[in-house]
Structure 1
Amino acid sequence: MRPQTIDEVVGQQHLVGPGKIIRRMVDARLLSSMILYGPPGTGKTSIASAIAGSTKYAFRTLNAATDSKKELEVVAEEAKMSGTVILLLDEIHRLTKPKQDFLLPHLENGRIILIGATTENPYIAINPAIRSRTQIFEVKPLSEQDIAHAVKRALIDKQHGLGKMPLKLTSEALTHLCRATSGDLRSALNGLELAAKSTVPNEKGTIIIDLQVIEECIQRKSLIQDKDGDAHYDVISAFQKSIRGSDADAALHYMGRLIESGDLISINRRLLTIAYEDIGLANPRVAAQTVQAVIAAEKIGLPEARIPLAVAVIDLCLSPKSNSAITAIDAALSDIRSGNYGEVPPHLKDAHYAGASKLGRGIDYKYPHDYPHDWTKQQYLPTKLVDKYYYQPKTNGRYEKALKEQYMRLKKAQQVKKSYRDNNS
């Protein structure tokens, strides 16, 4: 099911869609060496294969960890004899210096177009000499819709897929297959193939792949109990609301359901959102620790990912809460979207060009660092909004309580006429 051309690539439209960078390279036949990095099963090898198929260049695949310098020499000789070769080098972060030194001159003269694939951050894991000769592109997890498209294509493709088999995939099984594989198309297609080839046909000769079969073949339990799959989103909703409500046991229960279904992506996204939306300025420390826990979970994967995630959930649940940040930005956006905004004060406008002063731009601006305590009274909001209070501090945590005191001192020093409305009074 590997794509034969760039048009057949599933997902990654930020790279291969119309007008995007890799599509432009292929259309212009001006390929440069690149590194594709991202989670497993998201299309790194497929993009390389599609580039080769679209340009008609020879395509070879090696592994930086297991293939020797001799295999690289064979590819180099082929490139000398027949012209440009596209080399997909998997696990490029494990490329040794002797292999790297051999490759570099071939990358320089353009005989070998290197496409390195890695799950590691190339800015950390890959030698600068290789990085400087490649463009780096991030490959992202596929959406459920992307995987569903590829699965349906596999079911009807008689040449490369399962189209010759009398298969029927139920809607519940399709939903679970696309969701539980967490953006990993290879896992989805492997699970589908195993299900198709290991399920006994019914009395009519049809192979029915239902939810139970898919659960067994991908080893992920489904949370779907209704036809439309709403139960999954109900669990995600209950997960966030339990953390917001400071119930650690309920939050762990719902996260356990999501872990059992293999939905690491939803857990990570919810935790990052909760950390800033529901805890926010009451405890900024926990937001930073949540980010670290999510990064750790992504690196080690399930089942071990449950450990840093559990730490983050308990910490978030038992932390003081504040939604003042999201309330503040939404209040500002509401004014802007309703047209309630004014002109930027002249003294704040850009003055870094000839003639700006003649237009009154930047005149009388006071540089705060020239004053005691690096602050001086000065208007910043547009005149029609000068008395606006978007930020309404809460005092559930010591940090935001201190922020409130500073906020009020500054407002008082600015001598804003409108009285402050304290939500907590």
Structure 2
Amino acid sequence: MTETRLITPRFALLGSAGLAYFFADGLLVPSVPLYVTGPLAGGDAAVGLAVGAFSLSALLLRPWAGRLADRRGRVISMLVGATVFAVSVACYGLAQSVELLVALRLLTGVGEAFFFVGCVTAMSDLAPAARRGEAISLFSLSLYAGLAVGPPIGERVITVLGFGVVWIVSTGAAGLAVLLAWRVGETRVPSPVDPRGRLVHPAGVLPALLLLALVWGMAGFLAFVPLYAVDVGLSGAGYLLFLFAGIVIVIRSAGARLPDRLGAVRAVRLALACTSAGLLVIGLWRTAPGLVGGTVVLAIGVALGTPSIMVLALQNAPAAERGAVLGTVTMSLDVALGLGPASFGVVAVTSGRGTGFLTAALVAATGLALAGRTLTRTSQPATV
């Protein structure tokens, strides 16, 4: 691949499809818990089931989504995913019990698995090999934008027009993602597909472990920083979360080329070092300045880490197996977002929230040690 241009009409269309999908997803973030505790009269346990069911099915189906993207094409994976998402959300209003809503949320998670894997794999196809880190960084902005704008709009729509309209708007946004993905067309490079049809791709295992170590601490931070901020004397964590998100957005936009310029191996090590250091500062320096400083360092690590780890995974992945590799790697997101806060909570109950941050720092440091031992040299990119 000799073309070095990244921002093309197809790239922009694909980013727009991602934005439409993640906006649809963002609308559901506040709406599902409120629907469970409101019209369905469920409690906290019911909220946990309804929210968690989405991640469970997404986790289990990501490898299958990767295999479909490799065998049948990226666009098929995106179309199937966004369509399943749209149909399931359209049926939320018919759910008159928590059990039925949980079943529909499992179906929504299936859509998430197929759309996300198909979309990020297509993005890697369209990007020149030397600019894949930049492409993934820019792709992540559509996710952040959708999940930033969707929740407040969802809450407002519920207040003014009710839950039914939220489901309609979310379904419509997912439908728009279907149309935009269809306009993008197929991005897969014709090449022989691995006949073994591996669901869990070996090239994705190490990057998956590194991503798990990176996101584990971030998930615990996002879940407990609102409580910990009060512990250290702050009135709340709103500006801290704004600071965290702002740093991530700046680095993944203005600094989108950092993973490519630093090289994947160096960038991954730097990201895990910053992540573990940020969490360590928060856990050891249990004051407001410690929390602010640790948040800054943690955000730098998270911003740099995810694109770098995905580039690392793709370096040795043949074009025909990119979907399987990314399906394997992204399983870590669901595991970390589920187990990170849960483990943090267990430690916080027994030893305090500060110790929870120290435990999360240990997980990130373990990832750093793993990267230090196994990433002895930069791998050569696969021929495309």
**Alignment TM-score, normalising by the size of structure 1:** 0.29
Task: Please identify which structure carries the higher strand content.
Answer: 1
Larger Rg belongs to: 1
**Alignment TM-score, normalising by the size of structure 2:** 0.31
Task: Please identify which structure carries the higher helix content.
Answer: 2
Q: Which of structures 1 and 2 has the larger relative contact order (alpha carbons within 8 angstroms, sep 6+)?
A: 2
